[in-house]
Amino acid sequence: MNQITLVLLIFAVEILCSCSQQKNETITTDVQKHVIPLKDNEAYEPTENLKFSIDDTLKIYKEEYFSNPSVKDFFVLTIFPGPVEDSKSEFSIETSDKKVIYREVFTTYYFIRGIYQPDTIPDRDKKVYEKYMEDYTKALTSKQYEAYFNKNTSAFFKDAIYTVEKRTQYLESWEENIIDKDFFAEITSDSTIILIDKICFDCYEGGEIMGYSKKQNKVVTLSGHD
C-alpha cells in the first residue's frame, strides 16, 4: 500500500466516524425533545436503596371538626425515624379529651414516592424510559429529597385529608359506591355529620370517604373512590 492510498483510507475512515457521531448526536437530541406527561400507572420504582432518612420523630397537628360538630378533634400525623422506604408513619384522630378514635399506619415512602414522577419522560420504548429514569434518579440529591419530603408533609392536611365540600352533591353522585348503607341512611338524616376524604397512602391512586357515626359510636368508611 503506497502513501497516497494510505492517506485516502485514513480520510475515508475519519468521514465515516464523523457521520456516525453526528447520527448518534441527532438521536440523543431527538429523545430529549420528544417528551410526554408521566401517566399515573407508569410510576417508577428505584432499584437501589434511597439515600434519605428521618432522624427524629416528627409530629404535625391540625384541629378539625369531625366527630363532634361543636368541638374540634386533633388530626395527628406522626412520622417515625429511619430510612423512608422502611420506616412507618401514622395518621390518627383524637378527641378533645385525648381519646383515639382512628389510627392508620403506612410507609413513610408515601411522602417521597412522587419525586420519581417527573413532569416529562422520553416518548420512546421501555429501554429508553428505564435509562432516562435511572439517570434521573441517580442525579437526585439529598437536598432534593429533603425539600420534596418537607413540601408533602406540610401539605398533608390539605392534599391527603380534607373535609368534603358540597356534601349533598357528593352523596347523590356517589350513592352507588356506598359501602355502609346504615351509615349512609344516618348521614342523609343528620346534616351535622362531617365527612372527610382521605387518600390511600400505600396506593398510587384512590381513597375513601369517612365520617363519625353517632349510632355506631366509631369512625366509619362510607365509600371508596378511584
Which amino acid is present at 48? Answer: E
Are 98 and 185 in the same domain?
no
Are 17 and 77 in the same domain?
no
Q: What is the pLDDT of residue 119?
A: 77
Of 159, 183, 210, the residue that ends a domain is 159
CB 80 within 8 A of CB 74: no
Q: What is the pLDDT of residue 86?
A: 86
Mean pLDDT across 92-116:
94
Q: What is the pLDDT of residues 154-177, one digit of tens each?
A: 999 999 999 988 776 666 666 667
pTM for the structure as a whole: 0.73
CB 93 within 8 A of CB 219: yes
Are 153 and 182 in the same domain?
no
Q: Is the pLDDT of residue 3 over 50?
A: no
Q: What is the pLDDT of residue 30?
A: 29
**% pLDDT > 70, the chain:** 72
Of 140, 159, 178, the residue that ends a domain is 159
Q: Which range of residues forms the domain containing residue 10?
A: 3-33
> How many domains, in total, are found in the chain?
3
Are 65 and 111 in the same domain?
yes
Of 104, 127, 159, the residue that ends a domain is 159
SS3 content of the chain, % helix, strand, coil (to 5): 40, 30, 30
